[in-house]
Amino acid sequence: MARPNLLFIMSDDHAAHAIGAYGSVINETPHLDRIAADGMLFDNCFCTNSICTPSRAAVLTGTYNHVNRVTTLKTHMDNSLVTFPKLLRAAGYQTAMVGKWHLGHGPEHDPTGFDFWRVLPGQGHYHNPVMLQGRMDGRPGYDVVERGGYVTELITDDCIDWLDRTEPNRPWMLMMHHKAPHRTWEPSRKHFSLYDDVEIPEPDTMFDDHETRAAVVQAMEMRLMDLDPIIDLKAEVPAGLDHQAEVKWRYQRYIKDYLRTIASIDDSVGQMLDYLDATGQADDTVVVYTSDQGFFLGDHGWFDKRLMYEESLQMPFLIRYPKLIEGASLHEGMVLNVDFAPTFCELAGVEVPAEMQGTSFVPLLAGESPESWRTSMYYRYWMHRDENHNVPAHYGVRTLTHKLICYYNDPLGQTGANGPIDPMEWELFDLEADPLETTNVYGRPEYASAQAALKGELVRLQAEVGDDPYVAS
Ligand code: CA
Q: How far is the CA of 53 from the centre of ligand 1 (A)?
A: 7
Q: Each residue of 359-381: pLDDT tens digit?
A: 999 999 999 999 999 999 999 99
Nearest residue to 401 via CA among 371, 434, 424, 355? 434
Spatial distance between the Cα atoms of 60 and 166, rounded to a whole number of angstroms: 22
Q: How far is the CA of 291 from the centre of ligand 1 (A)?
A: 7
Q: Where are the alpha helices (DSSP H) in 47-180?
A: 52-61, 65-68, 84-90, 151-165
Q: How far is the CA of 371 from the centre of ligand 1 (A)?
A: 32
Instruction: State the pTM of this model.
Output: 0.97
For the chain, the 3-state helix, strand and coil shares in percent, each to the nearest 5, are: 30, 20, 50
Q: How far is the CA of 180 from the centre of ligand 1 (A)?
A: 9
Is 88 in a helix, a strand, or coil? Answer: helix
- Summary mean pLDDT of the chain: 95
Does residue 239 carry a pLDDT above 50? yes
Structural domains of the chain ordered from first start: 5-187+254-374 (3.40.720.10), 377-465 (3.30.1120.10)
Position 319: which residue type? Answer: I
CA 71 vs CA 65, 103, 336, 404, 458: distances in Å: 5, 11, 16, 21, 19
Spatial distance between the Cα atoms of 293 and 222, rounded to a whole number of angstroms: 16
Residue 260 host element (H or E): helix 243-278
Q: Each residue of 241-291: pLDDT tens digit?
A: 999 999 999 999 999 999 999 999 999 999 999 999 999 999 999 999 999
| Confidence class for position 472, pLDDT limits 50, 70, 90 | low
Cα-trace Rg, the chain: 22
Name which of 302-306, 319-323, 416-420 the model is least confident about: 416-420
Q: How far is the CA of 456 from the centre of ligand 1 (A)?
A: 31
Beta-ladder partners of 39: none
Q: Each residue of 71-99: pLDDT tens digit?
A: 999 999 999 999 999 999 999 999 999 99
Q: Kindly state the percentage of the chain with pLDDT values over 90.
A: 90
Q: How far is the CA of 292 from the centre of ligand 1 (A)?
A: 5
| Confidence class for position 62, pLDDT limits 50, 70, 90 | very high
What is the average per-residue pLDDT within 409-438? 79
Give the sheet arrangement for strand 425-430, strand by strand: 376-381, 394-399, 402-407, 425-430
Q: How far is the CA of 171 from the centre of ligand 1 (A)?
A: 29
Q: How far is the CA of 1 from the centre of ligand 1 (A)?
A: 35
Q: How far is the CA of 185 from the centre of ligand 1 (A)?
A: 13
Q: How far is the CA of 242 from the centre of ligand 1 (A)?
A: 32
| Confidence class for position 440, pLDDT limits 50, 70, 90 | very high
Q: How far is the CA of 367 from the centre of ligand 1 (A)?
A: 29
Q: Kindly state the percentage of the chain with pLDDT values over 70.
A: 97
For residue 473, the model assigns a pLDDT of: 57
For residue 14, the model assigns a pLDDT of: 98
**Is 100 within 8 Å of 12 (Cβ atoms)?**
yes
Does residue 411 carry a pLDDT above 50? no
Spatial distance between the Cα atoms of 32 and 269, rounded to a whole number of angstroms: 6
For residue 422, the model assigns a pLDDT of: 59
For residue 417, the model assigns a pLDDT of: 67
Q: Each residue of 17-29: pLDDT tens digit?
A: 999 999 999 999 9
Q: How far is the CA of 160 from the centre of ligand 1 (A)?
A: 24
Q: How far is the CA of 238 from the centre of ligand 1 (A)?
A: 30
